[in-house]
Amino acid sequence: MDEATQRKWDKAAPNFDLMAGAGAEKRWQPFKEELFSHMQGNILFLALGTGLDIPTFPKGQTITAIDISPKMLEVAQPRIDDYEGTINAEVKDVHDLDYEDDSFDQIFTSCTFCSVPNPVGGLESLRRVLKPGGELFMFEHTGSKYYPFKIMMDVMTQLTRKIGPDMNRTTVANVQAAGFELKEVNSLFMDVVKTIKAVKPDLK
């Protein structure tokens, strides 16, 4: 367990909804609802955080949801209880998943890989537990390749990294580097906010 990352998000938990729970969630809600509407089968969701995404989940699913921060999951508990389906929330580090190989049909992430310390390592860990042919659906913000926005996001990352996410991740490239086969990238705001769909290649 990455204790430094866990402490950072435990510390952020009490005020997380204040920063992220209003404007950003309202703005992103329709895109998340569309992405999560693909949920079916045995699902792994990370990182659940304070559960802000739960109202956008389709009803009736059984979801294994993980987060590195127990404090975040404490805040999420009322939303977990309100969900019309089953969410099994567990404290786990994506770098150190103890699920068996090829366990899940689908994996969903939401604003996760801006914060995972070793993004390619984390994605490789997800690939291990995803079934061959299984799908990876991501809602993420990344860095921009366009100037001057690239510089702005590099500068902002120096500020935000200490208290929360990086702003300049190359998540699409990381997905490919981790061995996933990219299917679709939908840029929602410039080349910064996007959904990513990929599959674990079935090599048989």
Partner 1 sequence: MDHRLFFVLGDLAVNVLVGAVAGWLCALVIGVGWNMFLAMILAMVIGMIIGTLFFFPLGILFGAMEVMLPAMFSGMVSGMVVGMWAAMEALGAMDAFLIGGAIGLACIVVIWVINNTVRGVTTYG
Q: List contacts with partner 1 (CB under 8 A).
A: 18-20, 22-24, 26-28, 141, 144, 146, 148-149, 152-153, 155-156, 159, 167, 181-193
Cβ atoms of 99 and 88 closer than 8 Å? no
Residue ranges in the chain assigned as alpha helix (H):
3-20, 23-36, 70-82, 119-129, 149-160, 171-177
Q: What does the DSSP 8-state code read for residue 142?
A: -
- From the CB of 153, what's the least distance to partner 1, in Å? 8
- Whichever of 102 and 191 has its CB closer to partner 1, that residue is 191
> Chain-centre distance of CA 75, in angstroms?
17
Classify residue 148 by burial, with Cβ atoms within 10 Å: 0-12, 13-18, 19+: exposed
Q: Is the dihedral of CA 93, 193, 107, 199 positive or negative?
A: negative
- Whichever of 20 and 91 has its CB closer to partner 1, that residue is 20
- From the CB of 81, what's the least distance to partner 1, in Å? 26
> Chain-centre distance of CA 173, in angstroms?
16
- From the CB of 27, what's the least distance to partner 1, in Å? 4
- From the CB of 26, what's the least distance to partner 1, in Å? 8
- Whichever of 1 and 155 has its CB closer to partner 1, that residue is 155
Q: What is the DSSP track for 27-38?
A: HHHHHHHHHHTT
- Whichever of 70 and 133 has its CB closer to partner 1, that residue is 133
- From the CB of 129, what's the least distance to partner 1, in Å? 23
- Whichever of 24 and 80 has its CB closer to partner 1, that residue is 24
